[in-house]
Amino acid sequence: MNSNKIKKYIFPLLLLICVVSISVHYLVPIYLQSNMMGEFNKGVFSNKKGHELHPKLFVADMHADVLLWERDFFSRNDYGHVDLPRLQEGNVSLQIFTIVTKAPKSMNINKTDDSGLDRITPLSIVQGWPIQSWFSLFSRAVHQISRLKKWESRSKNQLMIIRSRKDMRDFIELKTFQKKMVAAIIGLEGAHALEKDLIKLKVLFQEGLRVLGLTHFFDNAVAGSAHGVKKGGLTKFGKEVIERANKYGIIFDLSHLSEKASFEVIKLSKKPVINTHTGLRGKCKNERNISDELAKAVAETGGIIGIGFWPTATCGQTTKSIVDMIKYATELVGVEHVGLGSDFDGTVKTPIDSSSMKSITSELIVAGYSNEDIAKIMGGNLKEFFLKYLP
């Protein structure tokens, strides 16, 4: 075959490969993120009193999976839920950025087996993550923390990773001068990322991990999941993880954890525990939400329950649905133990993104909450919690 024929066939083929690669890299993740926003997002509730109060609040959200997506964090996107401009527009002062490392294709809230295809593996390949992260859950965690650190360094002091009580105090002081600053706390959704190695917990702690969720949708080597096959308690290795995390001063997140394991963690933890994103089964009955008994137990430790924004958590698709669940929770455990746990960017549909948090403030006013209680629910509780319980 002469050179002219090679050019005739090879160049178009290379061009096609490039077009397909670019399309897969950019368009597939954008398509997935666009599906997180439902039609009901177009009718955001507004209230003048809420809009006047909201800028005065310390707003905090307990759970977002934005680190999973290769989205431009510094541009205001019209898909997905979180980026820096939208956090600032929504007056979000504190965001827990949660690391997701595995999501079985078959995952569901009733019974999930972790064997078979994993959704994060092709996502990591398509988005061009480091090759080691295609095969290692721990490497995926390290990569996502690295991304957050790069955002912090590029942010020109608009984003600050919080690792200690001192950092939290410093941030609050800086926030009085730099109104648009956002604090970031690193969480992990599932200790399977430790790959059965306590040394890796130490590494993640040194990298900035401060909130540890033990399971996601499936049972792992640490504990049973609320959505797993066996739904058991803590394993022997799990108890070792608890002991080591206690030494580091890590805060435990009971999200997705089986009820048996949750009560065991409450007993073993040296600090109050939290549940970063959930609903309550007494109001919205399904296996994703926690029982009223467990909610009371979390509150009794001095912990906080983050109310989710998506339909499975609230049994509704509006901001009113979110506030109805908040109302149920505050009446059950007290205003001091309730916060916001959106699950933004967690492949769930929510009625708002991070830019429209003022709509929750407005709904709370309509629901009859005082300004003082609204300030607690919208983020004051979480601020005080971290001022007291971070290392």
- Give the separation between CA 66 and CA 344, rounded to whole angstroms: 7
Q: Which ranges of 90-136 would DSSP assign to H, the alpha helix?
A: 120-126
pLDDT at residue 20 greater than cutoff 90: no
- CATH number of the domain that 168 lies in? 3.20.20.140
Which tens digit of pLDDT belongs to each residue from 38-49? 544 444 566 778
Residue 270 lies in a domain: yes
Which tens digit of pLDDT belongs to each residue from 231-271? 999 999 999 999 999 999 999 999 999 999 999 999 999 99
pLDDT at residue 330 greater than cutoff 60: yes
Q: Which domain holds residue 92?
A: 35-389
Q: Which ranges of 228-342 would DSSP assign to H, the alpha helix?
A: 236-248, 259-268, 292-300, 311-314, 319-333
pLDDT at residue 316 greater than cutoff 50: yes
Residue 292 lies in a domain: yes
Residue 44's pLDDT is 56
Residue 279's pLDDT is 98
Least confident of 45-59, 127-141, 261-275, 300-314: 45-59
In the chain, how many domains are there?
1
Average pLDDT over residues 154-166: 97
Cα dihedral: 305, 307, 310, 315 (round 10): 100
Residue 12's pLDDT is 45
Residue 17's pLDDT is 40
Average pLDDT over residues 121-139: 95
Residue 16 lies in a domain: no
Decide which of 105 and 40 is more confident: 105
Which tens digit of pLDDT belongs to each residue from 188-220? 999 999 999 999 999 999 999 999 999 999 999
- Give the separation between CA 299 and CA 295, rounded to whole angstroms: 6
Residue 15's pLDDT is 41
Residue 116's pLDDT is 83
Residue 236 lies in a domain: yes
Residue 17 lies in a domain: no
The DSSP-derived string for 156-189 is TSSEEE--SHHHHHHHHHHHTT-TT-EEEEEEEE
Residue 19's pLDDT is 38
Average pLDDT over residues 331-352: 96
Neighbouring C-alpha atoms within 13 Å toward the C-beta of 143: 24
Decide which of 147 and 40 is more confident: 147
pTM summary value: 0.92
Residue 173's pLDDT is 97
Percent of the chain with pLDDT over 70: 88
Q: What is the mean pLDDT of the chain?
A: 91
Question: Looking at the DSSP assignment, which residues form a beta bridge with residue 290?
Answer: 280
Average pLDDT over residues 49-73: 95
- Give the separation between CA 388 and CA 72, rounded to whole angstroms: 33
Residue 26 lies in a domain: no
Least confident of 11-20, 212-221, 363-372: 11-20
Residue 382 lies in a domain: yes
Residue 58's pLDDT is 98
Residue 11 lies in a domain: no
